[in-house]
Amino acid sequence: MADQARPERARHGRVLATLSLVSVLMLAIASVFAVYGLDRHLARQAKEDLRRIASLLASRVALLPAGIDDKPAIQAEIASMAPAADARLTVMAADGRMIAGSAAQAAFVESLGDRVEVVTAARDGVGVAERESTTLGGRHLYVAVPVLIGGRLVGFARAARPSTHLADALSLTVPLLMYLTLGAAIVLVLGHMARQRVERQSLHLVDTAEAAAARAAESERRLTEAQRIASIGSWDWDFESNVARWSDNLYRMFGVEPGAFQPSLETYLEYIHPDDRAAVQVAARRAIEHGTPIAMDTRIVRPDGRTIIGHTRGQAVNDQHGRPTRLVGTILDVTDLRHAEAARQAAEEQFRVFVETTNEWIWTLDTRGTLLYSNAAVRNILGYELDELIGREVLNLLHPDDHAALLAALPEMIRQRANWTGVVRRWLHRTGEWRYVESNGIPILDEKGVVQGFRGSARDITERTLAEEAFRKSEERFQLAARASNDVLWDWDFATGEIWRSEAIRRLFGHTGVGDQQWDALLHPQERQLVGESLKEFLDSDRETWVAEYRFRRGDGSYAWVLDRGIAMRDEEGKPLRMIGTMMDITERKEAERMKSDFVSFVSHQLRTPLSGMNWMLELAAEAGNLPPQAAEYVADARESAARLGTLVNDLLDIARLESGRTTMAQESVRLDEITRSVLREMNTVIVAKRHTVRVDSNGAAPALADQQMMRQVITNLVSNAVKYTPDGGQIDIAIVPRRDRVEWSVRDNGMGIPRAAQGRLFEKFYRADNAISKEAEGTGLGLHLVRLVIEHAGGQIWCESEEGQGARFAFTLPTALREGAKA
Amino acid sequence: MSATARVLLVEDDKFLRRACEASLRQRGFEVTTANDGEEGLRLARVAPYADIILLDLLMPKVPGIEVLRALKAEPETASIPVLILSNSSREDDKQQALQLGAAGYYVKANLSLRELALQVEQLIHGHGAH
């Protein structure tokens, strides 16, 4: 407390002293100025006064009848004026000779003519001077005026007074005052400083005595506090008397109150874990006998049940004779420390196990590329055992290019203390193969932050890399193929719903990018619905391939004919996962076809005329009735032949019509079961002749949406084939079943079947499988083509399943008529 | 039938003409033939009018469709039923003929003489079906 007040008081004192000094000085200076001002004023007054008096005297003298020479009269004048004037009056002749004066010094007749005031008065009319008086003491002020009689200078009148009293007084007072002031100020300051020093000294004296005591206590407190904080206790054991002294904290560490008992070796041992007691005694004996320092862990069991681990350190201490009499030391609570160490070791062990057993290669290299550390996984990566590589410069196993690149980059990596991830390099495996290894690394820094090496992990990605390479090549090949091909390649992912189309979509049709909504809009209205239904039907089925032809609008608005083919990949349930296909621009082909169709159409019509002629003539001949039997037979054969020709022409015309794309087939509600039965009735003769068994199974299938006439042709065609290509006594099964929103018609026979090779081409124009040709030379090969056209025009699909020698199954689907817009 | 029905056959192919004529005659029809459209119109306009006209479409000079149009435009011939005997399967041709008032349309190559006679009979003596 005193320490805090002292600087305050000191400051106050100094400020006070300074202020007093300054104010006094200022006062002195001010008074000096005031005084001198006053003095000058007084001086001026005095001069004026004296001049007046001198002038008065001069004029009185001038008025005297005897003038300047009348000494007694002048004396009288002076005498009469002197009391009122309060000044010494003197009259002198023009030469300065004193004539009369008020002072007693009239006895001194001297020339005053050289006096300054006289000289000046003679010159200027008035003269002023101030000087020490030779006759009287002290400074006097003299004012002289000339006496003029008749304008002629006859003498001078002079008045004199002693100089102003004030100045005189001041000339002493002022310096005196200043010295006094200065002295006072100095005294004040000195006094203050002295007082401060005295104070300080006295406090200081008090401090020393108290402080010593306080410090001692404080010291003791701090030690105890320190011990408590550090969890350490100290002990001092006199082993000769077996009396020990423990620090307070040591007691506390042992879980008892300080001073709870008198410590000794035995009491100490009571607290030690039984298994550790022997070691304690041994250490104590060694310390006593050999001076070996004690440093050991012991378990201490506290009364509260807790066991702590104490690290004891101690040493023997000699007495003044150099004989060891005491052991002195500390016990540090290292319980937490030991537990932490144990945990750390366990973690380290765990980590080590991990590092050793992981498949990742864990490595440490120095800056030269020497392998300082590696786990066993290196064997998988490089094929060498651990001991073959440790200490070696493993970077030599790198591919030369990668090695060179690394060496070039290394200085910068070291400078920048760079780390990296995902860097792939090629290493030479022991077997001579190149392995792609991807690594991550971080720098190892010394305490100055300089890179001493690197550590990290790595893994073999050869397979992945090769796979990626293969994929890339494959992708490249595909892209090239896509570009080379003149078709648009498309890839429909059902999972995402996205359809990828190759760049040809732009090249062929002038579309920059086709969204799927736009796709439908680009189909020609006439084909749009049919294609959509055909595709939907295909997706719902379990078939693999899909085909459609339609007109597709180009970017410039014109239509192109497109042959769209696709293959679907399905999951186990038959649901489509992905579909890949091509769009081929068949506009030219279609154009050619159309011209062909037109030609066929034209020719067919032309053919019909002579055909009709033949038919009718033969009809007439047959009905004439008078043909010899042989001729009648020939005529009948001719009629049959002609009929076949007629069928051929009809088919050609139908095909031409359908292929021209200008067809409008009827969309009626057609009962396939009724048509089937009707067709079977028509063919009954042949069926019976061949002893086939025909079964029709139609379990309530809905009517189909199609052209009645054409469906009749289709069914006739398919049934006829089944009948024709099945050996006598065959089995023909026709089934009409609903399939979601479609109806499926199928005919199965157990005839000769269709060779695999032919199945793909079955529905082509003019195609007949070899075995069919060999069976019956006549078929035109038109039938299935026409059938396919009709079905596809109706928005359905037709296909064939067959094994050679095991019969065939032909089936088609059609949309049902159960919708709006269908004519019932 | 009361009176013998009169058939006017307009067909440019001679074999078809001869066969058709013979067949109808055999069945008791009175048959007049014309070789082309022009002759057909001339004969059609002259009394006694035919009870039915069998008309080919594809003929030189005046095509069958024009003959049909003319027949139906003239009051005397408008009411005579006309059966088109064509070899065109073109739907357009059929529709056009029917719209112009043809009573029927047949493709000769697919039509037997017997069937033809039947249709002729029906048209003359009944309300013929197409």
Q: Residue A23 in 3-state DSSP?
A: helix
- Ramachandran assignment for A429, one of left (phi > 0), alpha (psi -120 to 50 degrees), beta (any other): beta
> In Å, how far are A693, B20, B24 from A725, measured between CA atoms?
14, 39, 41
Query: Which pLDDT belongs to residue A821?
Result: 46
List, for residues A748-790, the tens digit of each pLDDT value. Answer: 998 888 888 777 777 776 666 666 665 554 555 567 888 888 8
Task: Tell me if A616 and B113 make a contact (CB, 8 A cut-off).
Answer: yes
Query: Which pLDDT belongs to residue B130?
Result: 43
Asked whether residue A357 carries a pLDDT value surpassing 60, the answer given is: yes
CA angle A149, A154, A155 (to 5 degrees): 120
CB contact at 8 A, A296 and A311? yes
Interatomic CA distance for residues A341 and A339, integer angstroms:
5
pLDDT confidence tier of residue A820, bands split at 50, 70 and 90: very low
Query: Exposure string (b/e) for B91-129, b if CB count within 10 Å is 16 or more?
Result: eebbebbeebebbbbbbbbbbebeebbebbbebbeeebe
CA distance B70 to chain A (A): 25
Looking at residues A243-271, what average pLDDT do you find? 88
Asked whether residue A456 carries a pLDDT value surpassing 90, the answer given is: yes
- Ramachandran assignment for A593, one of left (phi > 0), alpha (psi -120 to 50 degrees), beta (any other): alpha
Asked whether residue A26 carries a pLDDT value surpassing 70, the answer given is: yes
Task: Tell me if B109 and A649 make a contact (CB, 8 A cut-off).
Answer: yes
- Segment (H or E) for A364: strand A361-366
Q: How large is the angle between the packed helices A165-230 and A2-63, nearest 10 degrees?
A: 170
Asked whether residue A309 carries a pLDDT value surpassing 90, the answer given is: yes
pLDDT confidence tier of residue A514, bands split at 50, 70 and 90: low
**Cross-strand bridge partners of residue A426:** A436
A153 secondary structure, DSSP code? E
Query: Which pLDDT belongs to residue A824?
Result: 42
Query: Which pLDDT belongs to residue A594?
Result: 75
Residues of chain A contacting B, Cβ within 8 Å: 601, 605, 608-613, 615-617, 619-620, 623, 646, 649-650, 653-654, 657, 664
Residue A228, Cα to own-chain centre: how many angstroms? 47
Query: Which pLDDT belongs to residue B1?
Result: 45
Q: Which of B23, B87, B114 sits opposite A612 (nearest CB)?
A: B87
- Ramachandran assignment for A96, one of left (phi > 0), alpha (psi -120 to 50 degrees), beta (any other): left
Interatomic CA distance for residues A722 and A733, integer angstroms:
10
Considering only CB atoms, which chain B residues are within 8 Å of A646?
109-110
Query: Which pLDDT belongs to residue A349?
Result: 92
* Helix, strand, coil abundance in chain B, percent, nearest 5: 45, 20, 35
CB contact at 8 A, A25 and A31? no
Mutate to test the interface with B, among A603, A609, A644 (most CBs of B within 10 A): A609
Interatomic CA distance for residues A236 and A246, integer angstroms:
6
Mutate to test the interface with B, among A604, A605, A657 (most CBs of B within 10 A): A605
Can you give the pTM of this predicted structure? 0.43
Least confident of A131-145, A741-755, B9-23: A131-145
Q: How many other β-carbons are positioned within 10 Å of the β-carbon of residue A435?
A: 21
CA distance A523 to chain B (A): 25
- Tokens 């059966």 map to which residue? B83
Q: Mean pLDDT, chain B, as a whole number? A: 90
Query: Which pLDDT belongs to residue A98?
Result: 84
Looking at residues A688-697, what average pLDDT do you find? 90
Asked whether residue A697 carries a pLDDT value surpassing 70, the answer given is: yes
A106 secondary structure, DSSP code? G
Q: Which residue has the higher pLDDT, A601 or A400?
A: A400
Query: Which pLDDT belongs to residue B128?
Result: 42
How many A-B residue pairs are in contact by the CB < 8 A criterion? 59
List, for residues A522-580, the tens digit of each pLDDT value. Answer: 888 888 888 888 888 889 888 888 988 899 988 888 899 899 999 999 998 889 999 99
Task: Tell me if A615 and B88 make a contact (CB, 8 A cut-off).
Answer: no
Search chain B and give the residue with CA nearest A647.
B110
CB contact at 8 A, A377 and A362? yes
Search chain A and give the residue with CA nearest B13.
A609
Interatomic CA distance for residues A250 and A236, integer angstroms:
11
Task: Tell me if B23 and A650 make a contact (CB, 8 A cut-off).
Answer: no
Portion of chain B with pLDDT greater than 90, in percent: 75
List, for residues A389-399, the tens digit of each pLDDT value. Answer: 898 898 999 99
Tokens matching residue A415: 């400078």
Mutate to test the interface with B, among A603, A604, A608, A793 (most CBs of B within 10 A): A608
Residues of chain B contacting A, Cβ within 8 Å: 13, 15-16, 19-20, 22-23, 26, 58, 87-91, 107-114
Looking at residues A271-281, what average pLDDT do you find? 91
Query: Exposure string (b/e) for A2-14, b if CB count within 10 Å is 16 or more?
Result: eeeeeeeebeebe
Asked whether residue A516 carries a pLDDT value surpassing 60, the answer given is: no
In sequence order, the 6+-apart residues with CB closer than 8 A to the CB of A181 are A21, A24, A25, A27, A28
Q: Residue A221 in 3-state DSSP?
A: helix
Asked whether residue A168 carries a pLDDT value surpassing 80, the answer given is: no
A435 secondary structure, DSSP code? E
Query: Which pLDDT belongs to residue A772?
Result: 65
Q: How many other β-carbons are positioned within 10 Å of the β-carbon of residue A469?
A: 11
CB contact at 8 A, A800 and A784? no
CA distance B30 to chain A (A): 18
**Cross-strand bridge partners of residue A307:** A301
Query: Which pLDDT belongs to residue A517?
Result: 57
List, for residues A647-685, the tens digit of each pLDDT value. Answer: 888 888 877 777 776 666 777 888 999 999 999 998 888
Considering only CB atoms, which chain A residues are within 8 Å of B89?
605, 650, 653-654, 657
Asked whether residue A627 carries a pLDDT value surpassing 50, the answer given is: yes
CA distance B35 to chain A (A): 15
Asked whether residue B116 carries a pLDDT value surpassing 90, the answer given is: yes
Asked whether residue A166 carries a pLDDT value surpassing 60, the answer given is: no
Considering only CB atoms, which chain A residues are within 8 Å of B20?
616
Q: Mean pLDDT, chain A, as a whole number? A: 84
CB contact at 8 A, B8 and B32? yes
Asked whether residue A178 carries a pLDDT value surpassing 80, the answer given is: no
Asked whether residue A107 carries a pLDDT value surpassing 60, the answer given is: no
Task: Tell me if B109 and A611 make a contact (CB, 8 A cut-off).
Answer: yes
Query: Which pLDDT belongs to residue A16?
Result: 76
Q: Which of A610, A617, A650 sits opposite B110 (nearest CB)?
A: A650
Q: Which of A605, A613, A620 sits opposite B22 (nearest CB)?
A: A620
Asked whether residue A336 carries a pLDDT value surpassing 70, the answer given is: yes
Looking at residues B52-70, what average pLDDT do you find? 92
> In Å, how far are A324, A499, A516, A524, A758 from A513, measured between CA atoms?
102, 11, 10, 18, 39
Query: Exposure string (b/e) for A390-413, b if CB count within 10 Å is 16 or more?
Result: eeeebbebbeeebbeeeeeebeeb
The bridge status of strand A139-149 relative to strand A127-132 is: antiparallel
Asked whether residue A347 carries a pLDDT value surpassing 60, the answer given is: yes
Asked whether residue A621 carries a pLDDT value surpassing 50, the answer given is: yes
Task: Tell me if B88 and A654 make a contact (CB, 8 A cut-off).
Answer: no
In sequence order, the 6+-apart residues with CB closer than 8 A to the CB of A334 are A297, A309, A310, A311
CA distance A739 to chain B (A): 33
CB contact at 8 A, A636 and A770? no
Write the burial class of residue A206 (CB in 10 Å: 0-12 exposed, 13-18 middle, 19+ buried). exposed
Task: Tell me if B15 and A653 make a contact (CB, 8 A cut-off).
Answer: no
Least confident of A365-374, A430-439, A698-707: A698-707
CA angle A195, A197, A203 (to 5 degrees): 105
Query: Which pLDDT belongs to residue B9?
Result: 96
pLDDT confidence tier of residue A300, bands split at 50, 70 and 90: very high
Interatomic CA distance for residues A118 and A123, integer angstroms:
9
Query: Which pLDDT belongs to residue A823?
Result: 44
- Segment (H or E) for B97: helix B91-99
Considering only CB atoms, which chain A residues are within 8 Å of B90?
601, 657
Search chain B and give the residue with CA nearest A663.
B91
Interatomic CA distance for residues A471 and A467, integer angstroms:
6
Q: Which of A613, A619, A620 sits opposite B13 (nearest CB)?
A: A613
pLDDT confidence tier of residue A361, bands split at 50, 70 and 90: very high
Using only C-alpha atoms, chain B has a radius of gyration, in whole angstroms, of 13
> In Å, how far are A207, A217, A596, A808 from A2, measured between CA atoms?
10, 21, 129, 125
Query: Which pLDDT belongs to residue A570?
Result: 92
Interatomic CA distance for residues B106 and B117, integer angstroms:
12
Interatomic CA distance for residues A48 and A410, integer angstroms:
111
Q: Which of B16, B26, B112 sits opposite A609 (nearest CB)?
A: B16
Asked whether residue B96 carries a pLDDT value surpassing 50, the answer given is: yes
**Long-range CB contacts (within 8 A, 24+) of A402-408:** A402/A426
What residue type is A137 in one-letter code? G
CB contact at 8 A, B107 and B87? yes
Give the neighbor-by-neighbor strand order of the sheet with A545-553: A498-501, A488-493, A576-585, A559-570, A545-553
Asked whether residue A722 carries a pLDDT value surpassing 50, the answer given is: yes
Interatomic CA distance for residues A805 and A756, integer angstroms:
11
Considering only CB atoms, which chain B residues are within 8 Å of A664?
91
Considering only CB atoms, which chain B residues are within 8 Å of A616?
15-16, 19-20, 23, 112-113
Tokens matching residue A213: 């005591």
In sequence order, the 6+-apart residues with CB closer than 8 A to the CB of A695 are A731, A732, A733, A734
Tokens matching residue A268: 């100490």
Interatomic CA distance for residues A418 and A405, integer angstroms:
15
Search chain A and give the residue with CA nearest B108.
A612
pLDDT confidence tier of residue B23, bands split at 50, 70 and 90: very high
List, for residues A779-818, the tens digit of each pLDDT value. Answer: 555 678 888 888 988 888 899 988 888 889 999 999 887 6
Query: Which pLDDT belongs to residue A541?
Result: 85
Query: Which pLDDT belongs to residue A765?
Result: 66
> In Å, how far are A26, A753, A770, A771 from A756, measured between CA atoms?
136, 9, 11, 12
- Tokens 């001049």 map to which residue? A51
Looking at residues A239-249, what average pLDDT do you find? 87
Considering only CB atoms, which chain B residues are within 8 Å of A612?
13, 16, 87, 108-109, 111
